Structure 1
């Protein structure tokens, strides 16, 4: 589970601040910067990173530090490929800007009208949410990131269908919530209106005209590149450890671009110039200004440790803040083993990109701020020292956050009883298997073992290539629950920072019986004064209780059928020695009721 739990998804890393040093000397503003960046490389235990700085239409600094492959000592270069995560969002939003210029849409169009596959939790949301709401994260839907992280698929229609089951945390435009599904929806709108994939559009509209020849959106192409970085994380406080690549698959429009510092410098030139690259318009100036302007307040962000760093707003694929008296537009990006930050200061004609191969890293922000301070001739701040202090504080908090197991307890059922599929429509299906006296499942393409913690609580743990089980406690405890019949009926998992577990209901295996097999159950059954009818409709056994709707059933066990529309309700037919049905038991939360067959 480490690979999954170490993901700090596609978010901005904000750094605290404590003290300022003396104002730097005049002259070359980047004199001695290599020494500082090498110190950051060492102090932050990062394998490597690459930096590029744009001033106007020129790249004034471009360099790699450390290693893209630590074990084989292969160095990072300005052309080394890194996953840029959510820094991809500005690309996706820009495709919509191009479509608006062509007259194919407006940002005030209803989102569900632009994408028929998209449905929100209720009709009020369907009628209110416009395209601009998707772009500025103001739909009222919180992240639901584990829905795509743990239940990944390349099928975009399948992923976007989950949105219908996502309960809003606030009213539309009431509160800012980061939600990657909304950028998937934008990518799908692009596909629908252009007849080409999001990936094709990114290549044709940006990579080719911007001469971003190293960039791609394909994890396989990325991994096979001769100058691609491996992904890393920091384990046990100081150990640089290689992790697996993560294939974003269907969620690509939210963050699947892989690029280099030099390529991203060309992207920054567009934004610094107001939409141009080598005097050719790539984006309209109107869109650049709009995307880099506040569309939604992210949070109350008053001056804190530094009185000249404040403001947290969101534009269209960009975050906006006030950095030490200067207007800064930026976006972080994090995905397994990689962290990035892409930023520009429009009034200063300055752009900076930092790409690193460290998971959930502070390095991109530390490096960015350190360079900006020097280029703008500001009093330098020890951002590196502050990041170290933050890491140490975080380690102390995490070390005290684990739950202690309750001793001398055991599961309420034999382990085989926990086997099966469990479903939540907003997330997906968890399939649990029993092998070699242990329970297993697959999360985010990783096979994990469920180790008993206490009672019906199990801890999912990673298994390395040698079969060694990780001993660290995870944050995704599986808490199984039983129904009135004593059988396992669901599992609760704490996901996406919720204070309540997300429930996955037991999903019976669908069994198909022939019409001849179903026929023996059909008939009329006396339930008190009521006559219950059980009959066949098509290939399905139906149950009708007077005064109620007809119920479709699903066969789950021999002679047992669940009522599809009612959780916890089932019918079990009682069969005599001659294999004739003589009665049926209605099993429901308030008891078991027997009905005798009449004919």
Structure 2
């Protein structure tokens, strides 16, 4: 009898254990979510993504989906490296938080005082803009992203010098405009005050103490890593296509960190805990609270598709919103072939990172929201389905925005006349050259074919490693324009969503002439009732019109000089067969005026 009772007791314990195990399994809010993630992967035509979820001090979920290398079927793991793009901004802002704690700066210091190489469009802006304005994107400067995307350089001094020529779209602190240059400036401030590169600071202050051993800030180290993701985009709506890595080294502080889901989970632990990792302070608690609090209104974001999702404010390297009754702090990241989202809900002690190797992807936000809904026991929303509808809507809009070529038209000049350098100080220099019967240029360090579309409009086309030219119409049409002398004077391109083309002015190559060669142009020239004087000042030919300043000239073509201080103004000397100068023509936007040389 006792033996029978023992068997019954054993059976009861086993059944009880199984029931408890089943109950625990069913109580897991993320149970079965892998099925959803695999469906998202397929529906969004994504190569792969990785996810990590932090609850308090613990990583409660960490997994990879899809491929980091589609061609060779190499899977994504939680340790796979991805470019996190602008999710790097919270790291850069945090370095300033540490410097403030050390007493090396305040967020109310004038930006140009902290970084003398930085200047804005006006002296008024120089005097008004403080460091906090840079951190919260409230300088009044719009994105100007094509300036660094198309005209990249590793020289940070060269990039930051462009800010002086960026015309503001609003007054300081009047309107929120996202601007990557402002985070470059912050990184340069860190470099100036510490005597170390931004990259060194990121490694020493964050990567090492947070045990982010997989993370780096260098494109070479990223590409050579044995578990690094390749970058992809979606072509023709359903084709996963590999693209090139983008070297963002010059603009590094705005977005050059490469990391893994597991590494980023440690970063999130700092923010969830109020500044600590394994009970050691990484960031001052007051900075964590300030960075995750509203510093500027981004937009009047009222409830739209969902009445419990609203608010769009910016903190310091973080975006802030109300997600279904919960305070959410997050920041996305996009760079060629990669998209990311890093988020935490401070009141819920919850952090989520989603990294993907898909260009401009909705996957990170879809996955993040799907996780939050389950962990907070909210009524689930089909975020994947909503994302699919947006993709289809965007495809229809894109189809309607392409230009229709006007057939049977030709360029107004021989191709050689379009060759040269074209400059805009807020962006950079476009160099156009000719090979056989085609024009080429460099954009983002990539050789691009300028394919004639109609009249003086050319369509920039990418060329792959096999020489195959992209057939998709670009959104960056090059519209060449001429001056009153009939020569090509500039290129107009619609950039950064502007309603007017950004002009790149022809920059002729300066010629060096000897004093003897310059001497023949000197003298007095009669222009109506006034006398124009042409003379030498050192090795420079000068022009002086009565009542105006003296103008320094730059020799360009044969017997032609540009006036250095006046855009679109030049002088061309008439030289007779005996090499004697007998007249000079003043070429300017409102016409050409000829002056005869006086004896």
Pairwise TM-score range, normalised by the shorter structure? over 0.9
| Deviations 1:419-449 (CA, angstroms, capped at 9, x unpaired) | 1111111000001111110111110111111
How many Å separate the matches in 2 of 1:512 and 1:501?
Answer: 33
Q: What does residue 145 of structure 2 align with? A: 145
How many Å separate the matches in 2 of 1:396 and 1:587?
Answer: 47
Residue 283 of structure 1 deviates from its aligned partner by 0.3
Q: Secondary structure at the match of 2:299?
A: coil
Q: What does residue 45 of structure 2 align with? A: 45
Residue 124 of structure 1 deviates from its aligned partner by 1.3
Residue 596 of structure 1 deviates from its aligned partner by 2.6
How many Å separate the matches in 1 of 2:351 and 2:456?
Answer: 53
Q: What does residue 20 of structure 1 align with? A: none
How many Å separate the matches in 2 of 1:403 and 1:593?
Answer: 39
Q: What does residue 368 of structure 2 align with? A: 368
Q: What does residue 502 of structure 1 align with? A: 502
Residue 539 of structure 1 deviates from its aligned partner by 1.8
Q: What does residue 123 of structure 2 align with? A: 123
Structure 2, unaligned stretches of length 5 or more? 1-24
- In the alignment of these two chains, the number of paired residues is 575
Q: Does 1:459 align with 2:452?
A: no
How many Å separate the matches in 1 of 2:569 and 2:301?
Answer: 50
How many Å separate the matches in 1 of 2:349 and 2:140?
Answer: 35
How many Å separate the matches in 2 of 1:547 and 1:26?
Answer: 88
Residue 392 of structure 1 deviates from its aligned partner by 1.0
| Deviations 1:502-538 (CA, angstroms, capped at 9, x unpaired) | 0111111111111221112122222233222211112
Q: What does residue 492 of structure 2 align with? A: 492
Q: What does residue 477 of structure 2 align with? A: 477
Residue 575 of structure 1 deviates from its aligned partner by 1.4
Q: What does residue 548 of structure 2 align with? A: 548
Asked if 2 retains the 8 angstrom alpha-carbon contact of 1:26 and 1:377, the reply is no
Asked if 2 retains the 8 angstrom alpha-carbon contact of 1:441 and 1:447, the reply is yes
Q: Does 1:174 align with 2:188?
A: no
Residue 590 of structure 1 deviates from its aligned partner by 3.1
Residue 588 of structure 1 deviates from its aligned partner by 2.2
Asked if 2 retains the 8 angstrom alpha-carbon contact of 1:50 and 1:64, the reply is yes
Q: What does residue 231 of structure 2 align with? A: 231
Q: What does residue 20 of structure 2 align with? A: none
Q: What does residue 297 of structure 2 align with? A: 297
Q: What does residue 247 of structure 1 align with? A: 247
Q: Does 1:333 align with 2:324?
A: no
Asked if 2 retains the 8 angstrom alpha-carbon contact of 1:84 and 1:355, the reply is yes
Asked if 2 retains the 8 angstrom alpha-carbon contact of 1:49 and 1:66, the reply is yes
How many Å separate the matches in 2 of 1:322 and 1:431?
Answer: 47
Q: Does 1:422 align with 2:422?
A: yes
How many Å separate the matches in 1 of 2:515 and 2:455?
Answer: 43
Q: How does 1:262-341 map to 2 (within 5 A)?
A: 262-341=262-341
Q: How does 1:528-543 map to 2 (within 5 A)?
A: 528-543=528-543
Q: Does 1:387 align with 2:387?
A: yes
Over alpha carbons, which structure has the higher Rg?
A: 2
How many Å separate the matches in 2 of 1:501 and 1:41?
Answer: 38
Asked if 2 retains the 8 angstrom alpha-carbon contact of 1:295 and 1:315, the reply is yes
Residue 547 of structure 1 deviates from its aligned partner by 1.3
Residue 546 of structure 1 deviates from its aligned partner by 1.5
Q: What does residue 157 of structure 1 align with? A: 157
Q: What does residue 377 of structure 1 align with? A: 377
Q: What does residue 577 of structure 1 align with? A: 577
Q: What does residue 114 of structure 1 align with? A: 114
How many Å separate the matches in 1 of 2:389 and 2:593?
Answer: 64
Residue 26 of structure 1 deviates from its aligned partner by 6.3
Structure 1, unaligned stretches of length 5 or more? 1-24
Q: Secondary structure at the match of 1:298?
A: strand
How many Å separate the matches in 2 of 1:301 and 1:26?
Answer: 37
How many Å separate the matches in 2 of 1:170 and 1:529?
Answer: 46
Q: Does 1:412 align with 2:412?
A: yes
Shifted more, 535-544 versus 336-345: the winner is 535-544
Q: Secondary structure at the match of 2:304?
A: coil
How many Å separate the matches in 2 of 1:35 and 1:353?
Answer: 19
| Deviations 1:529-570 (CA, angstroms, capped at 9, x unpaired) | 322221111221111111111001111111111111112221
Asked if 2 retains the 8 angstrom alpha-carbon contact of 1:343 and 1:353, the reply is yes
How many Å separate the matches in 1 of 2:41 and 2:528?
Answer: 78
RMSD: 1.1
How many Å separate the matches in 1 of 2:124 and 2:46?
Answer: 47
TM-score of the pair, normalised by structure 1: 0.95
Q: What does residue 557 of structure 2 align with? A: 557
Q: How does 1:39-118 map to 2 (within 5 A)?
A: 39-118=39-118
Q: How does 1:441-456 map to 2 (within 5 A)?
A: 441-456=441-456
Larger RCO, structure (CA 8 Å, separation 6 or more): 1
Q: What does residue 12 of structure 1 align with? A: none
Q: Secondary structure at the match of 2:596?
A: strand
Asked if 2 retains the 8 angstrom alpha-carbon contact of 1:79 and 1:214, the reply is yes
Given the superposition, is the C-alpha separation of residues 26 and 347 from structure 1 closer, same or farther in structure 2, using an over 3 Å criterion?
A: farther
Asked if 2 retains the 8 angstrom alpha-carbon contact of 1:542 and 1:551, the reply is yes
| Deviations 1:294-343 (CA, angstroms, capped at 9, x unpaired) | 00110011111111111110000000000111100000000000000000
| Deviations 1:135-157 (CA, angstroms, capped at 9, x unpaired) | 00000000000000000001111
TM-score of the pair, normalised by structure 2: 0.95
How many Å separate the matches in 1 of 2:354 and 2:311?
Answer: 22
Residue 28 of structure 1 deviates from its aligned partner by 0.6
How many Å separate the matches in 2 of 1:538 and 1:171?
Answer: 44
Shifted more, 395-404 versus 585-594: the winner is 585-594
How many Å separate the matches in 1 of 2:591 and 2:232?
Answer: 54
Q: Secondary structure at the match of 1:366?
A: helix
Residue 598 of structure 1 deviates from its aligned partner by 2.9
Asked if 2 retains the 8 angstrom alpha-carbon contact of 1:370 and 1:380, the reply is yes
How many Å separate the matches in 1 of 2:540 and 2:394?
Answer: 56
Asked if 2 retains the 8 angstrom alpha-carbon contact of 1:329 and 1:344, the reply is yes
How many Å separate the matches in 2 of 1:192 and 1:213?
Answer: 26
How many Å separate the matches in 1 of 2:151 and 2:82?
Answer: 24
